Amino acid sequence: MIHSIPGRRFILSLFLIFLLLPIYWLVNMSFKTNYEIISTMTLWPHQPTLDNYMRIFTDESWYSGYINSLKYVVLNTVISIAVALPAAYAFSRYRFLGDKHLFFWLLSNRMAPAAVYALPFFNLYSAIGLFDTPWAVALAHCIFNVPLAVWILEGFVSSVPREIDETAFLDGYSFPRFFVKIFMPLIASGIGVAAFFCFMFSWVELLLARTLTSVAAKPISATMTRTVSAAGMDWGLLAAAGVLTIIPGALVIWFVRNYIARGFALGRV
């Protein structure tokens, strides 16, 4: 085979095992009792238990973390896509004053370190009374998700031939009607991919989410760092909580498998 390299199956299998092993260990731990975790080294749970999961689903301080996270993640995804769609269309179709600088400025915000913004965000959202609400985190996450959505959608919009726009306008469609009735269905898959990545990047972020919430809107990632260290190390519970945060990604991954590279590369592949 001229395409690939010798021993490729071996290399690939080794790497995939390397990827899966730590995840397997987390799943393994989540089904063990704390006694089994600490006392013996077992490669699979000898006395499998669902207690860890039961505790998360019955204890409000745990499951409310998931609900809070979902709230701001969904809010953020909706806001990001809603504002990014028209912008992506404009960047793809028109040239206007400062378009290139604006495009770069957006990229630079995607790259801005969250640590820089943690404190000013804290001040800003406290001042306008949004601190400890899902809105604060949703708006804060816009700083990296809106640029991401614009960049991804721009690629998808550019792949739609311009003749379609022109034909629709000749047929007497107004811009908003054309955009909603004709254009959005055409790039439905692009919207799906952009939404997935906004969801994902908001879901995996911890620093801003933790800084901007205290009690009422505490996300699951913060619950994991706080509760566990306060109650001593409850490894089984921690592992179960971790497994549950992986599930949303694992569920939809199949549908976006062909777009993963594109989404992570800001639509530039």
Near other proteins in 98-117, by CB under 8 A: 99, 102, 104-109, 111-117
Of the candidate spans 52-60, 182-190, 219-227, the one that interacts with other proteins by CB under 8 A turns out to be: 219-227
Secondary structure (3-state) at 138? helix
Residues 113-142 contacting other proteins, CB under 8 A: 113-124, 139-140, 142
Residues 65-104 that bind other proteins (CB under 8 A): 79, 82-84, 86-87, 89-91, 93-97, 99, 102, 104
Min. distance of Cβ 54 from other proteins in angstroms? 20
**Segment interacting with other proteins (CB under 8 A) among 44-52, 55-63, 180-188, 200-208:** 200-208
Q: Name which of 50 and 233 has its Cβ closer to other proteins.
A: 233
Site for other proteins in 24-63 (CB under 8 A): 25-26, 29, 37-38, 41, 43
Residue 20 beta carbon to other proteins: minimum distance, rounded to whole angstroms:
7
**Which residue from 224, 227, 237, 240 is in contact with other proteins, where contact means CB under 8 A?**
224
* Distance from C-alpha of 267 to C-alpha of 9, rounded to nearest angstrom: 30
What b/e readout covers 118-157, taking b as 16+ CB neighbours within 10 angstroms? Answer: eeebbebbeeeebbbbbbbbbbbbbebbbbbbbbbbbbbb
Site for other proteins in 154-183 (CB under 8 A): 162
- Write the DSSP string, 154-221: HHHHHTS-HHHHHHHHHTT--HHHIIIIIIHHHTHHHHHHHHHHHHHHHHH--HHHHHT-SSTT--HH
Distance, CA of 144 to CA of 260 (rounded, Å): 18
Residues 6 or more apart in contact with residue 220 via CB below 8 angstroms: 62, 65, 66, 68, 69, 241, 244, 245
Binding range to other proteins, per CB under 8 A, among 49-57, 58-66, 184-192, 199-207: 199-207
Contacts of other proteins in 239-258 (CB under 8 A): 239, 242, 245-246, 249-250, 253-254, 257-258
Binding residues for other proteins, rule CB under 8 A, total 98
